[in-house]
Structure 1
Amino acid sequence: MEIFLHARAEELVGNGLIALQIPAANDVTFHSDFYCGKNFELLGTCLVDMAKEGKVDEEKVDTFNLPIFFSQLKDLIKILESNDDFIIEQMETIDTKSHSIQVNAQMYVSLHRATLEGVIENHFGDEILDELFDRYTKKVMEIPAILDMQNLNVVALFVLLRRKV
């Protein structure tokens, strides 16, 4: 996170603003209870299925990794507060459990596609994207419990940062 913030600071002019919404593990969550990767495992099964059918190189599937990590909220706040490049203009925690957003499979998959498409395209090429996310949609529809955002032990931290002059 520190490297990310420093890189963004180099891109901004003095007094420039950056708004971030960062997912974090709820501070009351124990690491042994926290696992937010079920959705990514499901996407992985789609890639494995495509490899078995010869539509994707099996070695590429074996070497594909998503570098995803959820910091504890308190640790994330500490990093933001101690950063030398930015001043915190506004910061608030958004508890995902307090928002009763009804998510359907298409919305859910669209969110993941928007987030992951570039990484997947860089590793596999763009020719597999539509079929991969179509398969992912079908699997998500088979497991509706994965759409229940209330089961996640995740909060979102909204922060508005101003670049120091």
Structure 2
Amino acid sequence: MSSRTELAEAEEYTMNGGDSTYSYHKNSRFQRAATDVAKATIEKAIMEKLDIRRFSPAPTTFQIADLGCSVGPNTFVAVQNILEAVRRKYVTQGLSSQMPDFLVLFNDHASNDFNTLFASLPPDRQYYAAGVPGSFHGRVFPDASLHVAHSAHALPWLRKLPEELLDANSPAYNKGRVYYISAPSQVLDAYAAQFAKDTAMFLSARGKEVVSGGIMVLLLPGRANGIAHSCVLSDVMFDLLGACLMDMAKEGKTSEALVDSFNAPVYTPSPEEMTAITERNGCFSIETMDLTPFNAKVDGSAAAHACTMHVRAGVEGLIGKHFGSEIVNELFDRFFEKAKESSDRISSAFLHGCQLVVVLKRK
């Protein structure tokens, strides 16, 4: 189990709540596309890898957890896909008479907008629902209580930023930037090391919570082995955001000191990195480790607008907390203009864009 000190240090990064113009609820089209792309892989994994005959005793309640669920609606789509596949698995295994009740456990930080989440639960759902607050880098469920665990685009968010990014005496000091693109290699190395540590904590906790024979499905922005981070769409968007902040600092609309002390807490791993972390953990066998196309391509001004709304829904709270809410509107107006100017770069990232689909089975 992760130490209380480590978990106390964890930052809480939550998406914009509610259902207003800039809410995650209305601006998560990229994540929805990712969920749709992964649907067939998840169904195949459940049909072929979920070992329901190994569960002993046979569960009367089948528990599914969505880790980093945010506020919907994508979590409901993912959960429904999983539930339908599990029900089909019971039927094809000749176990219809043992069909359990289903309980879905929606997990996210305590600061997540659970009110919006539960207010928008599908009225015709075929499962019971409960919210479980807490950082998924530590334990949030009882031993051997989960049959399927799922997480979509939450794992890349770091538990905390590497301290050396803010240390002026460190070679990883990230002055003048808010991300690792165009930074010294030591900055990228610090991000990669923090992601590896955080993901190891995540896997260790799930190793205790997922039953033997159960599976875990992870969806996250990914990059092919050996491909530069500058080719990854999410990384490009954070790089543009940093450029906007530096422009504002040069114009005196925020301070350079504030920019120097801010770093985006997100990392995009490769299959090679995820494989190494999982193998060191040892609790799970890797059943699938695939890069799938990012199937949400848009062009020109529409791409700039979509990227702007996507980034704002994800980091507006973080920006407002660090820089003050008064700069938010101008910052994202500038981001939109910079995204239009960088349309070729964004289009190229869409073409190279992909997500990592990881299916793990508890040994």
1:101 aligns with 2:297: yes
Judged with a 3 Å threshold, the aligned counterparts in structure 2 of structure 1 residues 140 and 6 are, in CA distance, closer, same or farther, namely same
1:45 aligns with 2:240: no
Judged with a 3 Å threshold, the aligned counterparts in structure 2 of structure 1 residues 136 and 27 are, in CA distance, closer, same or farther, namely same
Task: For residue 94 of structure 1, report the CA deviation from its aligned partner.
Answer: 0.8
* Structure 2 CA distance for aligned equivalents of residues 28 and 3 of structure 1: 22
Aligned twin of 1:59: 257
Aligned twin of 1:126: 325
Percent pairwise identity: 32
* Structure 1 CA distance for aligned equivalents of residues 325 and 296 of structure 2: 34
* Structure 2 CA distance for aligned equivalents of residues 19 and 124 of structure 1: 35
SS of residue in 2 equivalent to 1:94? strand
2:356 is aligned with what amino acid?
L
Alignment of 1:145-164 (within 5 A): 145-148=344-347, 149-152=349-352, 154-161=353-360
Aligned twin of 2:201: 6
SS of residue in 2 equivalent to 1:25? coil
Instruction: Name whichever of 75-84 and 50-59 sits farther off.
Output: 75-84
2:291 is aligned with what amino acid?
T
SS of residue in 1 equivalent to 2:254? coil
* Structure 1 CA distance for aligned equivalents of residues 319 and 343 of structure 2: 24
Per-residue Cα deviation, 1:97-123 (whole angstroms, up to 9, x for no partner): xx4622521111222223433443342
8 A contact 2:199–2:277 mirrored in 1:
no
2:198 is aligned with what amino acid?
I
Judged with a 3 Å threshold, the aligned counterparts in structure 2 of structure 1 residues 7 and 70 are, in CA distance, closer, same or farther, namely closer
* Structure 1 CA distance for aligned equivalents of residues 296 and 250 of structure 2: 39
* Structure 2 CA distance for aligned equivalents of residues 150 and 82 of structure 1: 32
Question: Structure 2, unaligned stretches of length 5 or more?
Answer: 1-195
Instruction: Name whichever of 38-47 and 130-139 sits farther off.
Output: 38-47
Which structure would you say has the larger RCO, counting Cα contacts within 8 Å and 6 or more residues apart? 1
* Structure 1 CA distance for aligned equivalents of residues 283 and 328 of structure 2: 37
Task: For residue 23 of structure 1, report the CA deviation from its aligned partner.
Answer: 2.4
* Structure 2 CA distance for aligned equivalents of residues 38 and 110 of structure 1: 15
Instruction: Name whichever of 39-48 and 9-18 sits farther off.
Output: 9-18
Task: For residue 6 of structure 1, report the CA deviation from its aligned partner.
Answer: 2.3
How many residues in Structure 1 have an aligned counterpart in Structure 2?
158
1:24 aligns with 2:219: no
Aligned twin of 1:73: 271
Normalised to the residue count of structure 2, the TM-score between the two structures is 0.36
* Structure 1 CA distance for aligned equivalents of residues 285 and 267 of structure 2: 24
